[in-house]
Amino acid sequence: MNLQMVDLVGQYKTIKTEIDEAIHRVLDSGHFILGKEVKDFEVEVAAYLGLKHAIGCASGTDALQVAMMALGIGPDDEVITTPFTFVATAETIALLGAKPVYVDIDPKTYNIDPTRIEKAITKKTKAIIPVHLYGQACDMDPILEISQKHDLAIIEDNAQAIGGEYKGRKLGGLGKLGCISFFPSKNLGAYGDAGMVVTNDSNLAEKVRMIIVHGSRVKYKHEILGVNSRLDTLQSAILRVKLRYLDQWIKARREAASRYNRLFLGKDVTTPFEASYGKHVFHQYTIRLKNRDGVEKHLSEKKIPHAVYYPIPLHLQQAFFDSRTKEGSFAVSEQASREVLSLPMHTELTEEQQAYIVNTVIETVRQ
């Protein structure tokens, strides 16, 4: 059985004609940087999310950095986030000279635990970055209340959850700024690196637009320090096609997740929890197992793709070494890192494939 963790080729084949037309439209135009397709895509994403502004950039990582730059975050500042996420969330904080301050996660959602945030706030705290991990919304109301009480900016790391919802509202627009990744494996994925910053704040939007083109509004006139982080026209054209299918693909992912849940019912496997306040878009279908390493080995023998997101929490990564945050500092994140396992999840999954995957997992769990 030919299984893929993410079937990008299969997805491409279903929309090949539209994708090819979009690519050739850009090639024929000769406008490869900040072309019309970029502006049109920005307008369409803003409309999809119900926001005023969407600004394309070169990657989801850049989106985080640019968002913090727009807020003036820099040396000696502190930014609160989760240790159980992809490295970019904390990496961009550190690259700006600020300090990532970690707060442990909720054991069911794997997202930052709002009840622990206030204890981490100091006079140096400037922002909170909640991460909507695996496609599931953070519990945003208590986080927003804390941010208002302490006058802190909220930057949503929405790299994995575009199209997801919190209490009926699309993720990305609940805080000051939202950051999106269009990495190829994402639910809305480009054919290369691509990202976006979204906001309802017109002043911040203007700053972001300047920062991504070397701090400039007018060519060769640089008002602030910026970077080179433009979303290219080819990726925008591809993403415009895919955006039209996003809700349909989210529906397919949710149906695949429901099938997985039914197949695992009654087995010694913890399936993903979906919080009542949100709509999970299942960027990943992540189970939890006591015998994770044994299951991994068996899946590899059966040539079934799988992945661990993430095997080492950020506070234990060498790049972020701090003697004050040793092993045991964030016990919930550390336990999750030893037990989580993501299975194939994409829009082309069949019931037969899922049954095979689940049966293979169960074979090992029973041992």
pLDDT per residue as tens, the chain (367 positions): 889 999 999 999 999 999 999 999 999 999 999 889 999 999 999 999 999 999 999 999 999 999 999 999 999 999 999 999 999 999 999 999 999 999 999 999 999 999 999 999 999 999 999 999 999 999 999 999 999 999 999 999 999 999 999 999 999 999 999 999 999 999 999 999 999 999 999 999 999 999 999 999 999 999 999 999 999 999 999 999 999 999 999 999 999 999 999 999 999 999 999 999 999 999 999 999 999 999 999 999 999 999 999 999 999 999 987 767 788 899 999 999 999 999 999 999 999 999 999 999 999 876 5
Is residue 329 within 8 Å of 335, Cβ to Cβ? Answer: no
* DSSP assignments along 78-130, one per residue: EEEE-SSS-THHHHHHHHTT-EEEE-PBPTTT-SB-GGGTGGG--TTEEEEE-
Within 8 A by CB and 6+ apart from 17, the residues are none
Q: Where in the chain is the domain with CATH 3.90.1150.10?
A: 246-365
CA distances from 313 to 132, 181, 342, 348 (A): 16, 20, 16, 31
| Backbone torsion region of residue 188, taken as left when φ is above 0, otherwise alpha when ψ lies between -120 and 50, otherwise beta | beta
Q: Where in the chain is the domain with CATH 3.40.640.10?
A: 8-103+110-243
Rounded to 5 degrees, φ, ψ at 190 are: -80, -175
Domain 246-365 classified CATH 3.90.1150.10? yes
Q: Please name the residue that has the structure tokens 């599931």.
A: 136
Q: For residues 129 and 60, is the Cβ–Cβ distance under 8 A?
A: no
Query: Within its chain, how far is the Cα of 322 from the centroid?
Result: 25
Fold classification of 8-103+110-243 is Aspartate Aminotransferase; domain 2 (3.40.640)
Contact between 179 and 159 under an 8 Å Cβ cutoff? The reply is: yes
